[in-house]
């Protein structure tokens, strides 16, 4: 019996859980890694026109439990990591 056919493929880091949509372009990827809207200025602009605020960009995601975190990049509480300007500098 061939036991080497075990499916070892792991989900790519950029592939979100089912039903997740990018907050910026609605594409099937994690918002922070969005390649369609790269500039934080542009991202913030998009968030301003939506239902969610700058600290949590996933309000519309199904099953979302709102737990805003400090920014991953600069540690500030005023914005979500995906709209931090530090990674762009
Ligand atoms: Zn996107
Ligand atoms: Zn939320
Ligand atoms: Zn930041």
**Cα separation, 67 vs 64, whole angstroms:** 9
Tell how far the Cα of 8 is from the centroid of ligand 3, in angstroms: 35
Q: For 27-82, how does the pLDDT look when each residue is reduced to its tens digit (9 = 90+)?
A: 999 898 999 999 999 999 999 888 778 888 877 677 778 888 899 999 999 999 99
Query: Which residues are in the CB-under-5-Å shell of ion ligand 3?
Result: 71, 73-74, 84
> What residue spans define the domains of the chain?
15-89
Q: How far, in Å, from the CA of 26 to the mean position of ligand 1?
A: 6
Q: How far apart, in whole angstroms, are the C-alpha atoms of residue 24 and residue 32?
A: 9
- 11, pLDDT greater than 50: no
φ, ψ of residue 55 in degrees (nearest 5): -90, -25
Whether the model clears a pTM of 0.75, i.e. scores above it, the answer is no
Tens of pLDDT, residue by residue over 12-26, are 556 666 677 898 999
Strand, coil or helix: 32: helix
83/68 Cα distance (integer angstroms):
13
Has residue 7 got a pLDDT over 70? Answer: no
């Amino acid at each position: 019996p061939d036991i080497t056919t075990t499916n070892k493929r792991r989900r790519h880091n950029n592939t979100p859980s089912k039903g997740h949509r990018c907050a910026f372009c609605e594409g099937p990827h994690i918002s922070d890694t969005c390649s369609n809207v790269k500039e934080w200025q542009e991202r913030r602009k998009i968030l301003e026109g939506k239902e969610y605020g700058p600290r949590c960009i996933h309000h519309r995601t199904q099953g979302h439990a709102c737990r805003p975190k400090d920014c991953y990049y600069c540690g500030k509480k005023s914005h979500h990591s995906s709209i931090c300007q530090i990674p762009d500098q």
